[in-house]
A and B are shown apart, each in its own frame.
Chain A
Amino acid sequence: MPILTLTFKENTIAVYRVVKEKSVTIGRKEDNVIQIENLAVSGHHAKIDSVGDGFLLTDLQSKNGSFVNDELVSSHWLQQGDSITIGKHTLTFSYDVYEKKPDEGEGKMDQTMVMDTDTYRKMLGKAGQQLAETRDSEQEPVGILSYLAGGDGEIKLTNRITKIGKSPSSEIVVKGFMMGSTAVVISRRPKGYSLSYVDGMTKPKVNGEVVKESVDLKDFDIIDVGSAKFQFVIDK
């Protein structure tokens, strides 16, 4: 396993061994694996995780930042001889001479792995929090159909699939002799909303154009389904 050598002004202070599956925390406070008592060092400054066969340094949004080979990093895969600067101290990352380094292994870079959720959130820092919030509140933009004719109000397209047609089981019921039981469906896809014609003599129109199969919906599109008319908008 690789070792970390802590130095201050060219004097070696301590040597730490990095062990697989264990995080090495670095900071000013006592609960860190590597404690550096210096005011330039944040309480919980950075950490090193063993991920797959490699080791990942993550800056824990420290006040003065973490540097690897004099470059500011938020996260960095450690390599033989990397010099990590924390405040005025330096940690040198090195493998034992005979030890197999991850880069020498066959295609280890391609090995798929799953990130521990906590590690991931911390690694992404604020962006990660944003992501978590987006996920939690399902803030995916929602499409809305507003009636322009043939009805009142608006329909939020929260469903993955919304059916429009004569059938009472449709989310939006539109009557008419030529109307299919399900005439039109609107799908919510990763890229956005898509409208498809399904069956019946009445084909839908989007901005006056007859839809024979399917079209992607854009903000402010006007949709005709028989006697009903809608406007599509994305609620952001």
Chain B
Amino acid sequence: MVVIESAGITDIGRKRKDNEDSLFLDNDLGLYVVADGMGGHLAGEVASKLVVDTVRDYMKRFKEDEDIEELENFDETLSKEANRLLSGIKLANQVVYKAAQSNESYRGMGSTLSVVYFTDKTFIVANVGDSPIYLVHDGSIELLSVIHNVMAEQAAINPNEAELMGERFKHMLTRAIGIEEIVEADICENQYFKGDILAISSDGLSDKVSPDEILDVVRNERPAKACQTLVDLANERGGDDNITVIVLKVTDKHEKGGIMGMISRIIYPLKKIFH
């Protein structure tokens, strides 16, 4: 089992009237979620909340009852847990899509979704949209999520042209939860090590604070303090959008079984901060 210290904050920022971001974190479930909603008149808030709640409730079922039904469309190239997470994401997409279709004032609403989910020995990273997930390991920072916006996708094909496209395209997503009937998430699964740090954020942070700055903050401060420092930094630089960040740190790793596993039963602190 893994021992994690985590914290998360969502902040309205300095320019917006509403906070359309949502987050969820739970060390028991090993589940960490950030969603950045879009769509006017509170619809963005509704969308991101629906996404977070759906993924949370769906993943909770597996915690309570290990052997629920076999999943449909099982992808053999992924682990059982990764398949579960993907079907949770698909469900969240359907929920938002249907809500948007059935209510005139919600039409066109959508949300990004970035999730980190811990299994016994690995962690799974999945995302739709442009909310980044960073891994800090061995002193360096790496983007584990795939950014689904016009700029990033264009940059993958033709870096020179992407630069000419300008800022505007940065905020134009090519994929989001709830926009189309079916959504495909990008996913990867990794081994974790003691000391690894993961940071999940909305673009309100990543537009204002560089990966290297995030690296510097999360390495030197504990999760709760690091979250506050990062949000403050984004606000100092304008706070143009809502700012959400979750920072989690693998503080210890307990091998299952074996004598060491038997003696070392530690009750670990749950740290949650909702701002």
Which positions in A face B, CB cutoff 8 Å? 51, 54, 75, 77, 106-107, 109-115, 117, 120, 124, 127, 130-131, 158-161, 182, 185, 187-191, 194, 196-199, 213-214
Contact = CB atoms under 8 A, between A and B. Distances in A.
A168 B36 CA distance: 42
A159 B77 CA distance: 4
Contacts, number: 109
A189 B190 contact: yes
Nearest to A123: B150
B130 to A, nearest CB: 8
Interface of B: 15, 36, 38, 77-79, 82, 110, 112, 121-122, 130, 137-138, 142-146, 150, 153-154, 156-158, 161, 165, 167-168, 171-176, 179-180, 186-191, 193, 203, 207, 240-241, 255
Most-contacted residue by chain A among B77, B138, B203 (CB, 10 A) = B77
A27 B58 CA distance: 50
B241 A127 contact: no
B190 A161 contact: yes
Given A158-B77, A160-B82, A160-B187, A109 B171 contact: yes
A197 B78 CA distance: 19
5 contacts: A110-B241, A115-B172, A161-B189, A197-B191, A199-B255
B-side binding surface: helix, strand, loop or mixed? Answer: mixed
Contacts of B122: 161, 185
Contacts of A115: 150, 172-174
B77 A112 contact: no
A114 B168 contact: no
Given A187-B191, A190-B143, A214 B137 contact: yes
B90 to A, nearest CB: 17
Given A190-B186, A199-B255, A113 B121 contact: no
Contacts of B145: 190
A191 B240 CA distance: 30
B38 A112 contact: yes
Given A113-B171, A161-B189, A190-B186, 15 more contacts: A54-B168, A107-B240, A109-B168, A110-B241, A112-B112, A115-B172, A124-B150, A131-B153, A160-B79, A160-B189, A161-B122, A187-B189, A189-B142, A191-B142, A213-B193
A115 B143 CA distance: 23
A191 B110 CA distance: 27
A32 B208 CA distance: 42
Contacts of A190: 143-146, 186, 188
A130 B255 contact: no
A225 B122 CA distance: 20
B38 A113 contact: yes
Contact of A111 (B77, B112, B143, B171): B171
Contact of A160 (B153, B167, B188, B255): B188
A115 B168 CA distance: 12
A189 B191 contact: no
A115 B170 CA distance: 11
A110 B171 contact: yes
Contacts of B193: 196, 213-214
A24 B137 CA distance: 50
Contact of B191 (A77, A127, A158, A185): A185
Contacts of A189: 142, 144, 188, 190
B154 A124 contact: yes
B19 to A, nearest CB: 14
B138 A213 contact: yes
A130 B156 CA distance: 11
B157 A130 contact: yes
A184 to B, nearest CB: 9
Contacts of B38: 111-114
